[in-house]
Amino acid sequence: MRRVWLAAALAAFPCLSAVAQSRIDYSKLEIRTTDLGHGVYYLGWQGGDSLILVGDDGVLLVDTSVAQMGDKIKAAIARVSDKPIRLVINTHAHADHFGSNELMAKGGAIIIGHETLRERMAKGQYLAAFKQTIPPSPPAALPAITYLETMTIHFDGETVQLFHAPRAHTDNDTLVYFKRANVIHASGTFGGDRSYPFFDISSGGSLAGMIRAEEEMLSLSDDRTRIIADEGDQGSREGLKAACEMLVTIRARVQKLLDEGKSEDQIVAEKPTRDLDAQWVPQGSPLTGDFFTRLAYQSLKNDRGPARP
């Protein structure tokens, strides 16, 4: 019952839910392009938003949304660069982050992602959290280049660092750090500074991994860093710090109740997020305090997340 309840709540949540995606009329979506400096632009619409880096070497694109958005992404890129899309990075294997890979690859782009992302795309996935079946991707859509822990790309005069965030939003998240532009794409590991984040336990995500990913981004960033949240605009280091502290607080509270032997329903009834919900639950959001408490419980119950190296 519990799992059914989670899936029902998530039907309204944008990141990846097939139901939510089917409700979106992509033909009406407009891409907002924001110049973040040093050749980095944010392409924003409604979930699975992209970043691009443009310069003499060509275009590097982070995330390709769903298939219906491919031509719009290309058109938005063409408005700021006449160079070809040469490199694509997929941040994680949720369906709204790699859907236009094949289109980009057929145009000559080389796709890069974590090794586990490639495995998940090649096999196909059933995401229990969303009751969503994602069929195997065609070979052309798969990353040609994969990595395990870190990778550095020197392109357009920029240093682009890729960091694997183990067992965070999923088991295949890549944090993408544009060093000169001072911009980080957080994959799905940061929900912004006004919402509880979501992590997908059915794809190997965990609360401990989310905290670790946010700590990693805090160590990379300074007060001027722009951090791209999962489904929203650019966040700040201050917002990330607040989000990370909130996660650490909730983890400690839920773990304490777990250690006292309480059940999931008993823990939810204790409302361990009561004083936090006003700040972290936007009106109408399915990511309520009770929902996030269940997510935290399910993550902490069997698994304390990725081992520290």
CB of 153 to Zn ion, least distance (A): 22
Query: What is the full DSSP assignment across 140-165?
Result: GGS-SEEESSEEEEEETTEEEEEEEE
Among 70, 166, 188, 205, binds Zn ion (CB under 5 A): 188
Which residue number places its CB atom closest to Zn ion? 94
Of 94 and 253, CB closest to Zn ion: 94
Question: Considering CB under 5 A, how many residues would be counted as binding Zn ion?
Answer: 3
CB of 143 to Zn ion, least distance (A): 17
Count Cα neighbours of 53 within 13 Å in the Cβ-side half-sphere.
28
Of 188 and 197, CB closest to Zn ion: 188
Stretch that binds Zn ion, among 134-142, 185-193, 243-251, 296-304 (CB under 5 A): 185-193
CB of 38 to Zn ion, least distance (A): 27
Of 188 and 209, CB closest to Zn ion: 188
Q: Which residues pair with 158 in a beta bridge?
A: 155
Distance CA 78, CA 122 (A): 30
Of 97 and 251, CB closest to Zn ion: 97
Distance CA 203, CA 206 (A): 9
Query: What letters, b where the CB count within 10 A reaches 16 and e where it falls short, cover 168-191?
Result: bbbbbbbbbbbeebbbbbbbbbbb
H helices of 165-206, in order, are none
Q: Is 15 in the site for Zn ion (CB under 5 A)?
A: yes
Phi, psi values for residue 93, rounded to 5° = -90, 40
Euclidean distance between the first and the last CA atom of the chain, given in angstroms as a whole number: 36
CB of 169 to Zn ion, least distance (A): 6
CB of 83 to Zn ion, least distance (A): 29
29: enclosing H helix or E strand = none
Between β-strands 234-235 and 32-37, what pairing exists: parallel, antiparallel or unpaired?
unpaired
Give me the 84-113 binding string for Zn ion, x by CB under 5 A, dash otherwise.
----------x-------------------
Q: Is 197 in the site for Zn ion (CB under 5 A)?
A: no
Distance CA 17, CA 117 (A): 18
CB of 231 to Zn ion, least distance (A): 9
Site residues (CB under 5 A) for Zn ion, limited to 119-158: none
CB of 200 to Zn ion, least distance (A): 7
Of 90 and 225, CB closest to Zn ion: 90
Query: What letters, b where the CB count within 10 A reaches 16 and e where it falls short, cover 7-30?
Result: bebbeebbbbbbebbeebeeeeee
Q: Which residues pair with 61 in a beta bridge?
A: 52, 88
Of 94 and 114, CB closest to Zn ion: 94
Radius of gyration of the chain (CA): 19
Of 15 and 109, CB closest to Zn ion: 15
Of 188 and 192, CB closest to Zn ion: 188
Stretch that binds Zn ion, among 9-17, 61-69, 73-81, 203-211 (CB under 5 A): 9-17
Q: Where on the chain is the footprint of Zn ion (CB under 5 A)?
A: 15, 94, 188
